[in-house]
Structure 1
Amino acid sequence: MINSTQFSYFTLAAYFDSGVFKYLYFLIILTFYMSVVCVNLLLIVVICMNRSLHEPMYLFLCSLFVNELYGSTGLFPFLLLQILSDIHTVSAPFCFLQIFCVYSYGSVEFLNLAIMSYDRYLAICYPLQYNTRMTSKKIALLIAVTWLFPFLAIAVLIALSAPLKLCGNIINKVYCGNYSIVKLACSDTTVNNIYGLFYTVISVIIPLILIIFSYMKILKVCFSGSKQTRQKAVSTCTPHLVSLLNFSFGSCFQILQSRFDMSTVPSVSGILLSLYFLTCQPLFTPILYGLKMSKIRNICKHLPCGEV
């Protein structure tokens, strides 16, 4: 009979001894995290303080930037502590808290990108009806659903995983993952697997279907519309598409790494790729939108003069 128990802590086995270089890694990651915080906070303040940006597209962007702050804060401080530590363990409650932050960040990101594609679909395909279709109440409802649904869904996911009897407490990652814990279970995980599939469909597949549908409609209008319509579509949709592709790439690798044996991938490369969607997206997205969106770019130029 296999011995099973509920462990009070987990060991993160993906860390390696970097010697004196750990201080260099610490400074690099700290600088990266401070850049994420500063860039996202700057754009949140710019959107909130400037009335000309109180439009649906920028309000959804603000929600996206808040999520980038939330997701990076769920990882970076923990990562910084682990780099300096010689013992890479984490208590079970904190491990599940990190799972909640990381997974809800991913869900909110996908839902937010889906809602932004829907907003662009209405703006480009129904420009005359846009203001009546995208009302203040609808904007508030969409943002509320974007945040509340992932929080509730992940709470259920953790409620199913936390009581599992485990045969070990070693997680081969640099941060906690739900499926990594489920794989350690000695007890039946059928319910966990079914709910995990349901959660993936609701939080990833359905938003992607909405995004594909929106862009199919946008492309149809662009091909049959005027040059001005095409230019508007390119200017507003390009940052969204690039951000979506960047996040999807990181998320896909994270899912593949969790579900399949990646022992053939060098350990350092595996670590970097597993952190990609949690590190590059929070910095890449605000910079991309800040550079591409002319309204935001013009307002940021006046910030040194004290004008918002």
Structure 2
Amino acid sequence: MQMEPNSTDLPPFFYLESLDIPPSKVSVAVFMGTLTYCFIVAGNMTLILSITLNRSLHKPMYLLLLNLPVNDLIGTSAFFPYLIISIALDDRSISSAACFLQGLLVHLYGGGAFIIISGMAYDRFLAICRPLRYSTLMSNASVLKIVVAMWLTDLVLMSVLFSLLSGFWFCKTSINAMFCNNASLVNLVCGNTRINNYYGLFLSSLLNGMSLIAMIFTYVQILVACLTNKQSDTRSKALRTCGTHLTVFLVFQATSLLTVLSFRFRQISPYLRRSIGISTLLLPPILNPLIYGLNTKEIRSIVIHFFRKKKVTRFDG
């Protein structure tokens, strides 16, 4: 039921895009969705616990890295639990409050990924290009300030984005997406949304541009430093840690770009668009713990030691 044109109340429910899952496949879809979510939670929690419970990893690089799995859990937890429930109940309706909360958390995840990766790039730049000043510039107090600044910046930017939707009349309730997001909600508004579109474009350009500039500047400087460094061990370690960080950045950039393009080109099949649409919420949270767990020697050794210890304890018991 549509609201009166003068009403500023939100509709009680929005309706997300149908998944068109045959009844015979529902149980399989629920199982696979639950398994995927559990795998993501397990991988990211392993990374979080490895860093927080081991004093040897309480260093600026790892304390900044800690924010990445936290951010990944925010994004996937905003998406997967509702998706699994909606498949099981065959109900794609979502309350207005839940929709706005989901949209805010998904955007916090997206913006947070760009900001955190940029902060990690700054840390790598100082560690490799300014090694004598690194301990001073990246003290525990400095790292805490950087972390607080990253999350506050993300929260303010995304809160403004969604606050711009307040006061509008939502004359439609069908969301043409797998999850609630700002762009899909703006499309449901009957009114002048020029400011929303301008701010959304500005925000997207700011976050993408900031991270891209930070990465280009950082890695040019790091490459020069590595080429001029005569110590092969130092050069090899720097390239290895930076390669891990660069891989994470490229994975997120690629999935973000594919998601944007999938919504721009309407001739793409709905099934492919849905798959691409959730790739940003699926691939980075799965791959990030694997990339850092496998390629970072300190984390890998701690995780292996933990599981070996558990195995020995169980055997002795």
TM-score by length of 1: 0.93
**1:239 paired residue number:** 244
Q: Distance in 2 between matches of 1:154 and 1:18?
A: 36
How far apart, in 2, do the equivalents of 1:93 and 1:68 lie? 22
Three-state SS of the structure 1 residue aligned to 2:65 is helix
Residues paired across the two proteins, number:
304
Corresponding residue number in structure 2 for 1:284: 287
1:244 deviates by 0.7
Are positions 1:186 and 2:190 aligned together?
A: yes
Q: How far 1:192 moved relative to its partner?
A: 0.8
Q: Which residue, out of 270, 275, 278, partners 1:275?
A: 278
3-state SS of 2:281 partner = helix
Letter of the aligned partner of 1:159 in structure 2? S
Residue 251 (structure 1) shift: 1.1
Q: Show CA shifts across 1:201-235 (max 9, x none).
A: 33332222112111111112122222334312221
C-alpha deviation, 1:14, in angstroms: 4.0
Answering whether residue 122 of structure 2 is matched by residue 118 of structure 1, we say yes
Partner Cα distance (1:22, 1:162) in 2: 36
TM superposition shift of 1:274: 0.5
**Deviation for aligned residue 1:298:** 0.8
Where in structure 1 are there 5+ consecutive unaligned residues?
A: none
Give the letter for the 1:276 counterpart.
S
CA deviation digits over 1:178-209, x for unaligned, max 9?
Answer: 11111222201121122212322333322221
Give secondary structure in 1 for the equivalent of 2:164: helix
Q: Is 1:48 matched with 2:47?
A: no
Name the structure, 1 or 2, with higher relative contact order (CA <8 Å, separation 6+): 1
Structure 1 residue 162, shift from structure 2 partner: 3.5
The match for 1:176 among 170, 177, 180 is 180
Which residue matches 1:128?
A: 132
Counterpart-to-counterpart distance in 2, 1:32 and 1:254:
20
The one of 230, 237, 253 equivalent to 2:235 is 230
Partner of 1:199, secondary structure, is helix
Identity %: 33
Unaligned runs of 5+ in 2: 313-317
Distance 1:68 1:266 in 2: 28
1:105-154 alpha-carbon deviations (Å, 9 max, x no partner): 11111111011111111111112221112111210111111111111211
The farther-off stretch of 270-279 and 199-208 is: 199-208
State the SS of the aligned residue for 1:129: helix
TM-score of the superposition, structure 2-length normalised?
0.91
Over 4 Å off, 4+ runs: 3-6
Greater displacement, 224-233 / 269-278: 224-233
State the distance in 2 between where 1:86 and 1:73 align: 20
For 1:293, which of 286, 291, 296 is the aligned residue?
296
Give 1:257 shift.
3.2
1:300 corresponds to which letter in structure 2? V
Q: Is the 8 A contact 1:14 1:271 kept in 2?
A: no
Secondary structure of residue in 2 paired with 1:201 = helix
| 1:90 alignment partner, SS class | strand
Per the alignment, in what secondary structure is the counterpart of residue 122 of structure 2? helix
Counterpart position of 2:315: none
